Structure formats: C-alpha cells, structure tokens
A and B are shown apart, each in its own frame.
Chain A
C-alpha cells in the first residue's frame, strides 16, 4: 500500500520535474555557462566575465534596456487604466449574456496569432491604411498620415496584446467583491471616488499586481510587436538578444543579455512589489 502511494507520488511528480528540469533549469544553467564564455580565437573559448563587461561597457545596451523597461512599465500602466473600467463593467455592471459576450470579446483577438494581430494594426495605422484614409475622407487631414513606426503605435500594439492578461485577474478579483460591500461604502457616505479608492482598488490589489507583473513581463519579452510596429527607432531589448544569437552568431553575449534581462526585470518586479507593499505570496495565493 505504502509502496503504491509512493509510486503514485513519483509518477505525479515526474511531469513537473521533467518540465522544470528540461525546459527551465537545464537551459538556464546552459545559458549561464554560455554567458561566462569568451571567444579568444577560432573555436577557442575561455571563462571570463567579458560578456557582462560588454553589457555594462556599451551605453547603448544599458540604454536599450532602460528604454525597454520604461516602455513596458508605461504599457502596463496604460493597460491597467484601460482594463480596470472594462473589468469593472464586466464583473459588476454587465449581467448574464452581456457579461459572457463582453468577456468573449476580450478573448477573441487571441484566437489568431500575435503575428496576425500585429498585421491587423499595421493595416489600420499605415500611411495608406484605414485610419489615414478615414481622416482624409472626413477632411481632418490634407494628406496621408503615417501612424505606424513610432512609439505610440508600438504602445497601442503592446497594450492590445496585453489586455486579456490584465482583464482576467481583475475580473476574477472584482467578481469576488460582494456587491453589498460596495453599497455599504456608498451607504456610509462614500462617493464614487472614495469607494473606488478605499474599497474596490484595495480589494482588487492582488489582481492588479498579478496582472501588472504578467503584462510587464510579456511586454518586456515581446519581440514581434515592437519590431513590426515600432519601426526604425523601436530599439527593444529582445531585438538585441535576437540579433546577438542569430545575426552575429555571438551566443555568449546573447546569453549574457538574456541573463541581464532576467535579473533586471526580476529586480524591477521585486522593487515594485516592495514599494506597493505587496508580496508575491499574497498576489499569487489569492
């Protein structure tokens, strides 16, 4: 009996261990070792921190990372600002069918691949695209307007791509808030703003934090949207990693970049959690 239980336990554990080991731990160890290798000649390598020195020594890399992080944070904030009222409407105001339809509408864009979604935005925003034509047709613009290939277009794409990952945790949290608690807020003299500030937002905080972490990390790790919508100035950190690995054949520096991305983004998340007085356990355990 005990033997059987033990076997069952290991059988259950196996997929998790395989998943963690093969797909996460081993590749990361491999990456770490790779990042500590320096090419000294044709096919010759030595262990050194040269790649990390390269990262800190070249201002462009640090600047690119900072820009990526700032833009990702902005994308997170914008996503939150848009997603919150949407989630509130879905969770608290819409009822029955309308509620499911709205939720489904948030999901629909994810039925196609990221590439198709991004192309959709390109069709809308480009100089000969829909918005430009519409503006000219209504007389609001004299000539074609280029709305693609700038930071705003990139932001639109990032927010659009991230929306669902913010809406889902927010709707879940807001649905768990008893309507009576909101009513009690009003009943005791609260205005819409104070109910939002003191009751709704504190209650939704774990959802806000987990949604924000996911959106931030997704934006930071996004490759397609910044390169396709951002154009010549997009300058996204993942592009740097991609070009180190694929274009330059410089896996060592690419691995160092990958590790810096991992470390710095974890640091940002940790600091933000600290500043907002949240913990990962509280957020994920909710």
Chain B
C-alpha cells in the first residue's frame, strides 16, 4: 500500500494480458488472513496435485484489484456476500458459479440458500458461503462494563479510550444503535442519506472520545492489549483472541444486534484455474478441514458439522458472547446497491475532516 499504487494498478492493467501463462493447476487465491492456513494448503496440494498461491487482502482491495484487471490475476476470491451483486452489475468482474460442481451437502443449507439469493445477478449465482462472523463490541469488561451498544462508545466513562474503524460497518452499526434501520432504507437513497446524515452528526460529536480510528486488526489488538483502548467496535474473533490473554476482554454483541457478514467464494471473470477452484471449495468445506480454518481464523464456517471439530474454548467464547436471543438479533448484511458507497463516502470524509 504505497502512494504510487495507482501506477501499480495501471501497470497491472497493462500487464494483465501477459499473466496467462500460469499453469492451470496453480490456484491463485485472493483471500483474508486465516482463511487458507498452511496445513490446509499442504493437505490440499498433496491430495490434488494443485499448487496454491495465496494473496491476503480485504473486501475493498479485493474488488479494486479485480476491477483493475477486469477480473484477472486470480482464480478464486473471497469477498463478503453483500459486496458481490453490486460490483458484478457495475464492473462485471466475476463469473457465474456452476452449482453442479459444488457439493451442496457439505454446506449449512440455510446459509447456502441465503448467499445464493444475495449473490444472484440476472439468473446467475455468483457466490457460495465460506466463513461467517459478526461485528460488535470488543470490551474490557472491567473498565467498560457500562458499554452495551455502539452509542455507549460516546459516553464520558470511556472518553479517550475508544476506537472504531472509519468504514461503512461503523455507520451501519451506529444507525441501528440509534434506533434506525439502514438495511430497510437500502433501496431508497433519500431515506438512506437522511439516516447517514444523522449518523454523521453523532459520529462527529463522538470524535473527541476516539483515541484513533483503527485500520488493521493487528493495530486494534495492540491498542486493546496495552489497555490504551477499553472499548471498540470490532470483529468477534478479535475479542475472542484477546480473551485468551486477558479474561476481562471479550466480544459483546451490542443490544441493537451484531452485524453479521458471510465471506464467500467467487470466481473472478478471467480466472484460469476453475477446476482447481472448485476442488478447493469442495476440499475446504469438509467438516474436518473447516475446523482447521475455524481454528486459524477464529470464525465459524458454513460447513455442515464442522462445529463438532471446533475447540471447546472457542465454543465457550462463542456461547458467552452470543446468548440465543443475540444470535436471533444478528443483522445480516443485505447486498449493497450500487451508489450507496458514494453517500457513505461523503459522510466518512466529513467525519474525518471534522474537528
């Protein structure tokens, strides 16, 4: 991530056509940290003879990379399910999934159905689910026990010891905590902008409370571990990892509901190794393999029966953070219609610029 990445992107465009010589049984995987642990790759390579090249990224960069190459350079990518339909309609960077090549019996059926629905453009399905998790509150319960929802992050008790990302999940989370339903307003730009304007005011008022807007997971872990931050909006896994070091720190589902996300498998439009990609999907969805991924990433998968293989400690943490009513209250991201990012972008810019 350097300042001349733009040139890099342009080079990638011009060199995109040259990258075709890669052997078909090399799987170029664009994914998140922890989703392709070394031992899983080793097992896969041994069993199938394919080789795997992993590139770590996040939602926005995955889409930007694929957009820069028109969907080339990778054979399999893992964006969140709400970020597939919009970019596909706009940029056409994915290719449809041949569902006959997927072993549907390995998936939790409800999750597969929901993901297929959310990633359908026209008549084609573009994504199948892999890993899921939530965003909520990571708290040092000894010092920030009074925080029960996102809006509590702006309370005086935790002034100067709060951190969250300046990204869209924060806007959505605050909107829910303020009693609004941004997902319901997805289809109505005017209503959505109205919600976002209220969130903007709240977040600008909240700014003095914030120590810093965290950017990467490691940065947040450092802030909480050192005690510089006692309350943050973050992913569940971050809280659980910290819980292993300090029992006071854990992930708490906010009262207004944790935000649920599902990371998927998609095929980039110019992927060259579809066979290897389908092999990989069917391989990692096996319950015992999925358990390994859960162990590495801290998140559960859409693999049917993988829970049995998960460690007791992780299960305990999960149950602790999610009483049954909290699970029911998870707000799953619907697909983001194109154009919403522009509204959110303006809001985020103004919050950043506010003093």
Contacts and interface: CB of A to CB of B under 8 A. Distances in A.
A240 B212 contact: no
Contacts of B211: 146, 149, 231-232
A30 interface: yes
B353 A64 contact: yes
A235 B213 contact: no
A62 to B, nearest CB: 11
- The interface residues of chain B, by DSSP majority, are classed as helix
B345 A31 contact: no
Contacts, number: 107
Contact of B90 (A235, A239, A240, A249): A249
A89 interface: no
B7 A249 contact: no
Contact of A128 (B4, B13, B226, B341): B226
B10 A243 contact: no
A82 B60 CA distance: 40
Given A149-B212, A221-B4, A245-B64, A60 B228 contact: no
Interface string B205-239: 00100111101000000000011100000000000
Interface of A (DSSP majority class)? helix
Nearest to A127: B228
B10 A30 contact: yes
Contacts of A233: 352, 355
B14 A26 contact: yes
Nearest to A247: B60
Contacts of B9: 245
Nearest to B219: A228
A182 interface: no
Interface string A247-261: 111110010001000
Interface in A28-81: 30-31, 42-43, 58, 60-61, 63-64
Given A27-B10, A30-B10, A240-B349, A249 B63 contact: yes
A241 B64 CA distance: 13
Contacts of A64: 353
Interface in B154-195: 160, 166-167
Contacts of B13: 30
Nearest to A148: B212
B67 interface: yes
A247 B228 contact: no
A223 interface: yes
A251 B13 CA distance: 14
B213 A231 contact: yes
Given A31-B10, A224-B1, A241-B6, A247 B341 contact: yes
Interface in B115-131: none
B14 A22 contact: yes
Contacts of B341: 247-250
B2 A23 contact: no
Given A22-B14, A231-B213, A249 B87 contact: yes
Given A63-B353, A223-B1, A249-B63, A23 B345 contact: no
A68 B2 CA distance: 17
A210 interface: no
Contacts of B348: 243, 247
B11 interface: yes
A123 B218 CA distance: 14
Contacts of A60: 349-350, 353
Interface residues of A, number: 47
Contacts of A239: 352
Nearest to B355: A233
B3 A238 contact: yes
B313 interface: no
B353 A235 contact: yes
A43 B14 contact: no
A119 to B, nearest CB: 10
B3 A42 contact: no
A254 B90 CA distance: 17
Nearest to B343: A248
A227 interface: yes
B89 interface: yes
A248 B61 contact: no
B212 A232 contact: yes
A283 interface: no
> Which of A24, A31, A228, A232 has most chain B Cβ within 10 Å?
A232
A99 interface: no
Interface in A111-153: 114, 126-128, 146, 148-149
A92 to B, nearest CB: 35
A246 B60 contact: yes
Contacts of B355: 233
A42 B87 CA distance: 10
Nearest to B338: A42
17 contacts: A23-B11, A30-B10, A31-B6, A31-B10, A43-B90, A43-B92, A63-B353, A126-B228, A222-B3, A238-B3, A240-B349, A243-B349, A245-B6, A247-B345, A249-B63, A249-B64, A249-B341
Q: 10 nearest interchain CB pairs? A: A27-B10, A231-B212, A248-B345, A221-B3, A128-B226, A60-B353, A223-B3, A246-B60, A149-B212, A127-B228
Given A26-B14, A232-B210, A232-B212, 20 more contacts: A27-B6, A31-B10, A42-B90, A58-B349, A60-B350, A60-B353, A63-B353, A114-B2, A235-B352, A239-B352, A240-B349, A243-B348, A246-B60, A247-B60, A247-B167, A248-B344, A248-B345, A249-B64, A249-B91, A250-B342
